[in-house]
Amino acid sequence: MAIKILQLNLGLAATNAYIIGDTEINEAILIDPVDDAQRLLAAAKNEGWNIRLILATHAHFDHVLASKEIKELTGAPFYIHEDCVPWLEQLPTQGRLFGLSSFPEAAKPNQLLTSGSEEIDLGGIKLKTLYTPGHAPGHLSFYLPSEHIVFSGDTLFAGSIGRTDLPGGDYNVLMDSIFSKLIPLGDETIVLAGHMQATTIGQERLTNPFLLDYMEKQ
* Three-state secondary structure call for residue 33: coil
Of 29, 30, 19, 91, nearest to 62 by C-alpha is: 91
Whether residue 125 has pLDDT greater than 90: yes
The arithmetic mean of pLDDT across residues 18-25, rounded, is 98
Whether residue 1 has pLDDT greater than 70: no
Please state, rounded to an integer, the average pLDDT across all residues of the chain: 95
Confidence band (pLDDT; 50, 70, 90) for 117?
A: confident
Domains of the chain by start residue, with CATH: 3-217 (3.60.15.10)
Residue 216, H or E segment:
helix 209-217
Give me the pLDDT at residue 95, please: 76
How large a percentage of the chain has pLDDT more than 70? 100
Residue 12, H or E segment:
none
Give me the pLDDT at residue 45, please: 98
Give me the pLDDT at residue 116, please: 81
Predicted model pTM? 0.96
The arithmetic mean of pLDDT across residues 21-39, rounded, is 97
Output the CA torsion sign for 42, 65, 54, 153.
Answer: positive
Q: Pairing mode, if any, of strands 190-193 and 199-200?
A: antiparallel
